[in-house]
Structure 1
Amino acid sequence: MAACSVRWALNRFRCLAGSPIRISAGLGSVTSQHVAGKQLACWEKVSRHESVWRNVLSVERGGRRRRRLLWAAVALSLFRGSDDEHDEAQRREDEMLLLLKKAKLSIHRGQLPAASIFLHQAVTLAHQTHNHQAIVYTYSLMANLAYIQGQLDHAEKLFKAAMSFMLSGGTPEDDNAVIEMSLKLATIYAEQNKVELAEHGFRFCTESLEAKLEKQNALPAEEKPDEQEALRKDTRLLLGLCFDSRARYRASNLHLNLAAQDYQKALNICRQEQGDTHPQTLVLMSDLATVLDLQGRHDDALVLVQQAVDVSRSAGHPDQHVLLGNLAGILLHKGQLDDSARFYQEALVLAQQAGDQEAIDQMQEGLKEVKKRRDKATQD
């Protein structure tokens, strides 16, 4: 805006300096001296404008101090409006950031309706200020909020809107942010039982990331700075998340062989990038063990989940009660009822301490099943 103001002012100077000055005859008599005086006055004005114009453009033509003072006066008048516009833009940006912070805090507190109001206000400001990044970020938050609230159709539209803004802004299709949103869309389609769309979405994500990693790995070592290495790691972890998400989808549809393959791929990536003791590594070990158990491979499942539980005890895993519950369930299927009951009880205590009501219900159901099988064994 400031540049436009400067260009407008300079063009205005050119117009005044180059246009002829005409003196119109009045209705009364005008002496030649009067006319001559007006003409002289006008030409003096033109001369002063030309002088200003020359002084702005050239440092060789006298009056350096006067030129600086004159330009300072002109600049003050030109940029005062620009400064006001800048202040207004900064005020809107600050207001938008505050709204986004309030929205995130509301989500954290579980105040979802309030978060929705803040986000709608923020996205309005983002559009008004043409802040491309803020538009994408706010739409993403709105989409996640809609997903949390179970508004899958609305979440789908918002994710698509965010992706549309990203792609129209020149973001490549294989950018990690685009693929992450594509993964969320695939997850939404999976929950909506839109099988073809879900499978296509998961396949797009995994194939795009694998191709991207192949290109990155083909680069010589000297062409891999720290930023490239960080991008490679982020890309691999996102690929692991894609395999994990697809595995859960396939397991829910009882495509157990495919689910086990995806879980194994996700586990391999997590181990390599995060380490054997990382919480996500242990969760994936437990999830894979659950699928193996469903396949009837109880011994393989028991070995894997026992490893996860042992590491979780020493590492202090935040969801240790979930791992213990899975261990108890596998032992139940193997018929080791006493061990199963013991681990269910331990998991129940930890779940109560964590305030995890869903896990509490599952542990109590597990203990009931143990009792039922014991009673049946006694009757037999």
Structure 2
Amino acid sequence: MKWLAIALAVLAAFVVALIVGPMLLGDKGYVLISLGNTAIEMTVISFCILVIGAVIAWYVLSRLVLWALSLITGSHKWFGTLGERKRKRAFYDGLHAMAVGDFDTAQKSLSKTTNGDFEGVNYLASAQIALTNEDLSKARYFLVQATDFPKAKVAATVMQARIDMAEEKYDAALEKLNELDEQERENTQVVRLKAHILAKLGKWQVLQENLSSWRKALPKADYTTWSQRIAKGKFAEIASKQGAVELKSYWETLPRKLRHDDAYRAAYIQQLLDQGMHADAQKLLVEWQKRGPNSALFPLFTQLNIPDASPSLRLLESWIKQDEENVSLYSTLGQVAFNSGDDVLAEKALLKATKMKSRKEDLLLLSAISERKHDTATALQLYKEGQQLAS
């Protein structure tokens, strides 16, 4: 429209010049048009106005003709715009219905958007509705359509892989994710899903090899969790197939970096405990926490069950001297002492912990100690108090 306004302004200026110019000069000019016996006489100004009017009339008439032709062929922009508006309205109606849980209405609305350009979101939404209705074949159909849109490709692939996982088709799910290009494979959800699939397949070595390259894509908490799961998975596999002796040999062959990793250390000690090697586990728990409690290793103390727990007890008591208001230290000391048969120390530590904060596990241990002393009334009372508390 801007160019049309400029053209009209120029035309108006030209007409004014034609009229005002001759008037100032005092000569309007003369034009004679002779056709056979017909002669048309006019001034130059009239002739110019006639020509300009004819040009404008031709332009308007040509636009009308083109518009009429477009109506006949059905390609007029107005109709296209109207159709696009209807598809957009249907798209938004579908999302609104989906949000409130009216999936039938949502699907009907979204089915009207197939010819629109919604970057695949309409197909993703339709697939989600199909999944909610447990119609996996229809969901797969919509997801295949969505993969044709670059911006929807990753989301569609992830959803397809999750369907495969739900059907325990882990290899198929992994294959779909591996078909993504390098940049798409760095997506956080893709990485998380691949990690879960590899874990399900028991491919701990492959998972370990990939984990370092996934550090940027994974949140720190996820990275730590997967490090622990990898360690547990590998150690459990070795222990179950080859025994504790082979597990200890394998540990010594690990790189120094891994042997100093808290997640690997915790997983290794856990396997020693599971294999009944509590003395070896205690030795490492004490050795690896000389500088103070380690959040990954400290909880494992409560699983120790050996007659001679003196190294652990001495270490815990030294920590208590440095932090006398730490409930967890008293509670853990009581647990280790109880498991080693030292009920006197266990009761003393647990009473101290309970005085600071009543916790279910501490009260139940005190109940067990009272029962050992054949004090059934106290044991029952402590047991009831413990059951009333959350763990």
Q: Does TM, scored on the shorter chain, surpass 0.5? A: no
Larger Rg: 2
- Give TM class, smaller chain: 0.3 to 0.5
Please give the TM-score of this superposition, normalised by the length of structure 2. 0.43
Which one has more relative contact order, counting CA pairs under 8 Å at least 6 apart? Answer: 1
